[in-house]
A and B are shown apart, each in its own frame.
Chain A
Amino acid sequence: NAGVTQTPKFRILKIGQSMTLQCAQDMNHNYMYWYRQDPGMGLKLIYYSVGAGITDKGEVPNGYNVSRSTTEDFPLRLELAAPSQTSVYFCASRSLLGLGGNTIYFGEGSWLTVV
């Protein structure tokens, strides 16, 4: 039962560098999300996708980009990393198979530090 898999688990970036956080799910879910979680601030939505080829901005999209070429994968790209992007990033996927199937599953997180 892989569920939602995120890589890498930990990463240190220098200011101005770029990187991609990978997310894959094996549950054939249409909906996928990227959140960031800062201490005491709760989960903030960065980007989300309702299916392959469709993405949209969440609350805090600046400095990030996403793509969704397949149902399984939803990578998050950080361009020109800044210290404000130091955070824990969570990918999630959801099935909406009627009311009984509204469940969202999270990955284990990616810890990113920008120095």
Chain B
Amino acid sequence: EDQVTQSPEALRLQEGESSSLNCSYTVSGLRGLFWYRQDPGKGPEFLFTLYSAGEEKEKERLKATLTKKESFLHITAPKPEDSATYLCAGDDFGNEKLTFGTGTRLTIIP
């Protein structure tokens, strides 16, 4: 059974303090590893899809990386507007469903 585990559950950073969020996955045939941002009261907003180990993608202060067992979302010099819950999800070739982690709630303190 596919599993996706995110850590930490919550993270508080000072503005400008860089850090990383972790997503560990067990997906038998990985078709893609997704990262989403979710603001309170909103639907998840697509950030990245990673397809193979070693791949990296960047968007503003965010960089996502992928290994064979984990994905990391690196946040460089974050700003308060980066505060949100970040979700990752694994996509399995064997079925049409995504498996989501429970998210990391990130708070950036001015």
Name A's B-contacting residues (CB within 8 A). Answer: 4, 31, 33, 35, 40-43, 45, 48, 50, 56, 58, 90, 99, 102-109
Contacts and interface: CB of A to CB of B under 8 A. Distances in A.
B100 interface: yes
Contact of B51 (A4, A43, A99, A106): A99
Nearest to A90: B43
A100 B46 CA distance: 14
A107 B43 contact: yes
B96 interface: yes
B49 A102 contact: yes
A103 B102 contact: no
Interface residues on B, range: 20 to 34
B25 interface: no
A45 B95 CA distance: 13
A57 to B, nearest CB: 10
A38 B44 CA distance: 14
A69 B41 CA distance: 30
Contact of B102 (A41, A105, A106): A41
Contacts of A107: 43
Given A33-B97, A45-B98, A104-B46, 4 more contacts: A43-B100, A58-B97, A106-B45, A108-B43
